[in-house]
Structure 1
Amino acid sequence: TCTSCGAQVELGSDTHAAECPFCASPVVTDTGTQRHIKPRALLPFALDEATARRAMTDWLGRLWFAPNGLQDYARKGRQMQGIYVPYWTFDADTKSTYRGERGTTYYVTQTVIRDGKRETVQVPKIRWTPASGRVARFFDDVLILASNSLPKRFTEALEPWDLAALVPYSPEYLAGFRAEGYNLELEHGFVEARGRMDAIIARDVRFDIGGDHQQIHEIDTEVSDVTFKHILLPVWLAAYKYRGETYRFVVNGRTGRVQGERPWSAWKIAFAVLIGALVAGAIGYVVALEQGVL
């Protein structure tokens, strides 16, 4: 129910904040009413819409092959939307034992024949020795996107987030913005987080093995003290249709970091190819003159 005009506003199951269509007042329902796990914290928006738009158009301006018209259209187009995107964060203490091999490079002298001449060369070889040991790492705030509305290649490019600035969740922060509920369940989020943890543990094992090369045969990890948080992170979003194509851009609502679908200008590419061909031709002509071919 809109607190300003009393209208009943229905929001989608993944939307928890919007604008009343009758009086344009912010309408907020407690995020998580459709979910078992409610948000524990969020990062408030630090950039307003105008600043986010400037960051986006500056980013487009640095893409030499982007159409000029798209940058102008984005600058003058409709407003960007501020959206709180759902994430999981996981903490865990890990202790791992491993078994593998350490490789040490050494060289042997060999005689080879090149162009009819005998030459002595140093050929690298690897000497492998068994290696085993233990590594430990505490993981703090492993961040997992809990939405499928935005491609992960976009959201991952917005990192890092200043998670130290998280504040306790309160619906008032959502006023004037949209907010998504999570659609990646907690257990699936933890599976993804474990994958990231395992990759870092494998890197730690390689460092621990040392040497010039490493082979990992087995890692056995004990995970304990696992905790999680459901949090919301601020993103400015814009989607534009330009000459029949749709382009999406996202801006980190804290840092102004931009990511989006890279647009291409056919005539700029053709012009660059033409210039490259002319330059290559000019260089070839100069070389031919110096060699007396022409």
Structure 2
Amino acid sequence: MEDIKSQKSELKKACVNCGAELLYAPGTTTLVCEYCSYEETIQPLNESFEELELKPYLEKIGGQSHSEEIAMLQCKNCGANQHIEEHYKSLHCIYCSMPLIIEDAYKEEWILPGAVLPFQIDHKKAHLIFKSWVKGLWFAPNKLKKAVLNPELVRGLYLPYWTFDAYLNADYTGQRGDYYYVNVPYTTTQNGKTVTRTRQERRTRWSYASGHVNGFVDDTLVRGSRQNTGNIPSKITRWDLKKLKAFDSSYLSGFVTEKYTISLKDGHLKSTDEARKIAELWARRDIGGDTQRVSSIDMELSNETFKHILLPVYISTYKFNGKRYNFYVNGENGSISGDRPYSFWKIFLTVIVVLIVIVLIAQFAK
């Protein structure tokens, strides 16, 4: 067990030819040396994901069986906890670009990831996506393009998430609503005369409903960290979890890894809230009819398991006219979202041109 654990914890591999650090090549199962181009295939220790029984972890029993110590740096500006590989010569927070001091590194325990979704697009493509996005921005300052030309500002990050599985049983009470229509008279004026007409109005017939629903709730995804700044936009937080691979630290080589700051307990509370929403959705389907009201749900979760997973995103923080802006690219599918500046003069001149056109049209219309 100790041999397996030490292999899983190894975050760096040396090139057999030149001794340089091997880096993961996104979209492959290969480690590559950027100096001599040597390649090595990643051979995962496990083919299946590790689903851990939830209850012992919540009770702080067996917590050492799937955990390890890693070196962490915490940003004093935004609070992000980051494990940064040695090849990052300039240590700056990936979220807010504040300097990180290597002497501030400390050891901290974490629950080992059970799975990782490796980067599917590389650094170069992520930078091209960003440049294309900037090019398509309306009213963006001309100097913005110069501010984002440096590809070194784009860095890959593995985000921590919790996933929870459980078998759900729920008893519910509520009401079933069935639509019906009635003819309702109304009056209107036509040719100076009052005319009575009818129109159909929809009504709802309510009846009592109760029942039981059950089923398996699979991979409820809960974010594992939060920062004071640089929160990841929900627009890019959709990954294809079918591409998850059993955790192997080789996939982390060349990227920053963020440690979870939302505890397993808090993540579980969030997943329970999501399970309750699922139970209500199942209850509504079970009630049937045209519309439903759910009055109460008595829910029970059993056979609960969880895993800690890592999901990929590219982040860039850049400054423009003294203000910091962030943008994010999903490392699996390339979706993009971010903050952007606006050019006051471009907007002002556009408004002036539009007003001039309106005045000219009005003049010609006369």
Residues 232 and 328 in structure 2, CA contact (< 8 A), matched pair in contact too: no
250, 254, 257: which one pairs with 1:176? 254
How does 1:188-267 map onto structure 2 within 5 Å? 188-267=266-345
Per-residue CA deviation, residues 195-241 of structure 1 (Å, 9 max, x unaligned), is 22222222222222222221110111121111111111121110111
Q: Distance in 2 between matches of 1:130 and 1:283?
A: 64
User: What is the SS of the residue equivalent to 1:157?
Assistant: helix
- Matching of residues 263-278 of structure 1 within 5 Å: 263-270=341-348, 273=351
Name 1:29's counterpart in structure 2.
Answer: none
Aligned partner of 2:73 among 5, 9, 12: 12
Pairing 1:100–2:167 present: no
Gaps of 5+ in 1: 25-31
CA distance in 1, matches of 2:353, 2:285: 48
Q: 1:17 is matched by which residue type in structure 2?
A: I
1:35–1:181 contact (8 Å) kept in structure 2: no
Gaps of 5+ in 2: 1-11, 21-70, 75-80, 92-105
5 Å-filtered alignment, 1:1-294, equals 11-13=72-74, 14-19=81-86, 34-76=108-150, 78-115=152-189, 116-149=194-227, 154=233, 156-270=234-348, 273=351
Deviations 1:107-159 (A, max 9, x none): 222222234543322222211111122222312211111111376561x3223
For the residue of structure 2 that corresponds to 1:148, the secondary structure is: coil
**Please, what is the CA RMSD of the aligned residues?**
3.2
* Identity over aligned pairs, percent: 36
Tell me the amino acid that sits aligned with residue 177 of structure 1. F
In structure 2, the CA distance between the partners of 1:130 and 1:198, relative to structure 1 (3 Å rule), is same
Which is further off, 79-88 or 117-126? Answer: 117-126
TM-score calculated relative to the size of structure 1: 0.80
Please say if residues 49 and 79 of structure 1, whose CA atoms lie closer than 8 Å, have aligned partners that are also in contact: no
Aligned residues of 2:183 and 2:198 also touching (Cα < 8 A): yes
Counterpart secondary structure, 1:19? coil
1:166–1:120 Cα change, 3 Å? closer
Runs of 4+ in 1 over 6 A off after TM superposition: 2-5, 21-24, 278-286
Secondary structure of 1:195's counterpart equals: helix
Amino acid at match of 1:199: K
Task: Deviation per CA, 1:157-213: give whole Å up to 9, x if none.
Answer: 223323223233333332222111111000100111122222222222222222222
Residue 210 to residue 71, structure 1, CA distance change in 2 (3 Å): farther
Matched letter for residue 41 of structure 1: A
Q: Secondary structure at the match of 2:215?
A: strand
The 1:92–1:76 alpha-carbon spacing in structure 2 relative to 1, beyond 3 Å, is same
Aligned partner of 2:165: which letter? D
Shift of 1:94: 0.8
Q: 1:163 to 1:77 in 2, by over 3 A?
A: closer
In structure 1, what is the Cα distance between the partners aligned to 2:249 and 2:262? 21
Q: Distance in 2 between matches of 1:237 and 1:22?
A: 17
Measured at CA, do residues 56 and 227 of structure 1 come closer, stay the same or move farther in structure 2, by a change above 3 Å? same
User: In structure 1, how many angstroms separate the alpha carbons of the residues matched to 2:165 and 2:231?
Assistant: 21
Q: TM-score, normalised by structure 2?
A: 0.65
Higher RCO, 1 vs 2 (CA within 8 Å, ≥6 residues apart): 1
Gap change, CA 1:110 and 1:165, over 3 Å in 2? closer
